[in-house]
Structure 1
Amino acid sequence: MNKNILALVLGLSVVGCASNSGVEPTMSASLMDKESVCCVSKKDFAWVGLEKTEDVDFAIDETSPVWNFQTGKSFFNAFEFSPRSGKVKVTLSSKMLKNQVFAPTVQLLDKDYQVSKTVPLADFKVHYSDMFNANRYWYEFEVDAQELPYMVVYTDPSLIGSTITVPHPARVRADESGEPRPIVTDPKFTYSYTGELHLEVQTLSLGSRATTAPSAQTSSAVVAAGTAAAVSNEKVTAPAKIQPETQQYYHSAIEKAVVDGNIPKALSLLDEAKALNIEGAQEVFVKAINAK
């Protein structure tokens, strides 16, 4: 078999396998409107602590926390850069799988949890599929982790339902090799509330930011993606005080998830509540299960 044809066949095989993995079809906008926000303020987010160097896959899905951003409600993940990092290089990609994609927006927050910079979808490039990766949105940037220690990844709800069309892998390879274009249909991907993403962090210089609260609690999305490296081992001087509103949110959200029959979400919320040392969460879960 001609080597070029063999390479093409192998490439299409890998891409085909990749497109059959990933998250299930997204929820509707009406269901998202009914989702409760996770917290009283961004300070109360379950911040996932990052090491100086990270290379991790994670999912933003229906077990992820919800926040009402300026553009509307979205599932999200919240990250805190390592206190030992100064300037860091961040690479974020969102995979196009199962005919859908999570269109990312990134917020960078200062020490007071105020948004200092927003990276919109328009800044992301589209990287086409190859032997090892699916089609994906991709963006790389540098940030001073001492000045902007927090990063939030979410999506703009106004994009949900819109589509992006990317060239078929066979067409891309034909263009690169100068061969005639094959007659194929270019795949379309629908913007979704959920998706699979990849994050890389590389520390370029060291820093020494002081911390007075836990630098991370493991988010449900990272747990769902099987990421064990997300929990920080930083020592703290005192436990963070949990506001009554936050406790009430978790109690209500756990109970609602059980009533709706969404036990995986209820368990994820229970894990988050335990990580935050929220009292009574276990009792609320057991009572709701017994009532169910």
Structure 2
Amino acid sequence: MKKIATVLLGVSVLFGCSSHQDFGSHNPTEQSISKIEQIEWQQVDIPANFSFHISSNTQYLTNQDFSSPVAGFAFEVTEPEITIEVSGIVKQLKVFAPNLALYDQNFNLIRNYNASYFDYDDTDFIRGDVLFGDIVLNLPIQTTKIYGLIYTTKQDLADTTELLHPAKAMAIAKRTVPPQIDNPIAQHVEQGEIRIALKRDSGLSSFIQSSKSASAPEIPVIATKTAVVALPETENYYHSSIKAAVAADDIPKALALLEEAKSIGIKDAQKVFVNAVNNR
């Protein structure tokens, strides 16, 4: 599971649980809006678990920064460390690719996360077919409220997500050779279900970047992912070892090498494994 730091990055320990709230589709007071202040924000408490069903009835925000159906949630900041988990649910090979913009109590933009932070993990059989990402917030003391804006972009709508075929997932789970069949493709669309969880955190943190006003002509400061760069010799070792294990019909060893390679940032390890299985 990846961790994305927004104002501060920390090691998290989660506490508490909450019942699930379903913010179903309804007719808003204003459906076509041009300002984020016009969004019908759903007030929640921490911890919280809730869903948005984005449909033709959802508010549509259009201005120089956005052109998208939008859903908004808000919560009072009663503690400095919070985790926000976002899941775009794949249904009938369609998914709303989420982006998340976070604003403070004065609607100043703290951080914006594009759809690349909420991606599909074909090794996570527990979550299944979702676009998932979690964000660790450690907020300055002057922040008293957070507004979270869920939206998508025209670029996201032109994209797709390749899913792992269920038969392949079953084979991998049973540690057998996956069948040579095409993976299904999920289309990115303007309607779908987004699930969000807010959790309490505690841990060590370090400052990264300051916020920027939401009134700027473009959405500011896209946070960057932290990458682990492996030496070429290390990459070659893991790539070769994975191929050799698959060739020897030792799938458990190949999967173990794959997980180890991912944990230390070996590039294209998953691709090497899949290609080795398909070419076997």
Given the two structures, how large is their TM-score scaled by the length of structure 1? 0.52
In structure 2, the CA distance between the partners of 1:79 and 1:85, relative to structure 1 (3 Å rule), is farther
Q: Helix, strand or coil for the counterpart of 2:120?
A: strand
Q: Distance in 2 between matches of 1:98 and 1:87?
A: 36
Give the match for residue 201 of structure 2.
204
Please point out which of 21, 29, 32 is paired with 1:37. Answer: 32
Q: Distance in 1 between matches of 2:87 and 2:66?
A: 22
Give the match for residue 66 of structure 1.
60
Give the match for residue 165 of structure 1.
162
Q: Distance in 1 between matches of 2:64 and 2:110?
A: 14
Give the match for residue 181 of structure 1.
178
- Give the unaligned 5+ runs of structure 1: 1-22, 24-34, 206-292
Give the match for residue 103 of structure 2.
109
Give the match for residue 153 of structure 1.
150
Bigger helix share? 1
The answer to whether the 8 Å contact 1:95/1:135 transfers is: yes
Q: Helix, strand or coil for the counterpart of 2:32?
A: coil
In structure 2, the CA distance between the partners of 1:158 and 1:110, relative to structure 1 (3 Å rule), is same
Q: Distance in 2 between matches of 1:135 and 1:97?
A: 8
Q: Distance in 1 between matches of 2:108 and 2:93?
A: 35
Aligned-residue Cα RMSD (Å) equals 2.7
Q: Distance in 1 between matches of 2:117 and 2:179?
A: 31
In structure 2, the CA distance between the partners of 1:158 and 1:47, relative to structure 1 (3 Å rule), is same
Give the match for residue 119 of structure 2.
125
Cα deviation, 1:236-281, whole Å, max 9, x if unaligned, reads xxxxxxxxxxxxxxxxxxxxxxxxxxxxxxxxxxxxxxxxxxxxxx
Q: Which residues of 2 match residues 78-117 of structure 1 at below 5 A?
A: 78-117=72-111
Cα deviation, 1:145-172, whole Å, max 9, x if unaligned, reads 6626111010012221432211102212
Please point out which of 51, 56, 63 is paired with 1:57. Answer: 51
One-letter code aligned to 2:87: S
In structure 2, the CA distance between the partners of 1:166 and 1:71, relative to structure 1 (3 Å rule), is farther
Q: Distance in 2 between matches of 1:48 and 1:36?
A: 15
In structure 2, the CA distance between the partners of 1:110 and 1:130, relative to structure 1 (3 Å rule), is closer
Q: How far has the Cα of 1:112 moved from its partner?
A: 1.6
In structure 2, the CA distance between the partners of 1:164 and 1:91, relative to structure 1 (3 Å rule), is same
In structure 2, the CA distance between the partners of 1:158 and 1:49, relative to structure 1 (3 Å rule), is same
- Give the unaligned 5+ runs of structure 2: 1-23, 25-29, 203-280
Q: How far has the Cα of 1:73 moved from its partner?
A: 1.2
Q: Distance in 1 between matches of 2:125 and 2:136?
A: 28
Q: How far has the Cα of 1:103 moved from its partner?
A: 0.6
The answer to whether the 8 Å contact 2:86/2:118 transfers is: no
Q: Distance in 1 between matches of 2:152 and 2:63?
A: 9
The answer to whether the 8 Å contact 1:105/1:153 transfers is: yes
Given the two structures, how large is their TM-score scaled by the length of structure 2? 0.54
Cα deviation, 1:87-141, whole Å, max 9, x if unaligned, reads 2111110011111110111001122212221111112231349777540011111
Which moved further from structure 2: 170-179 or 193-202?
170-179
The answer to whether the 8 Å contact 2:101/2:112 transfers is: yes
Q: Distance in 1 between matches of 2:74 and 2:183?
A: 38
Q: Distance in 1 between matches of 2:109 and 2:130?
A: 26
Q: Helix, strand or coil for the counterpart of 1:97?
A: coil
One-letter code aligned to 1:53: P
The answer to whether the 8 Å contact 1:64/1:75 transfers is: yes
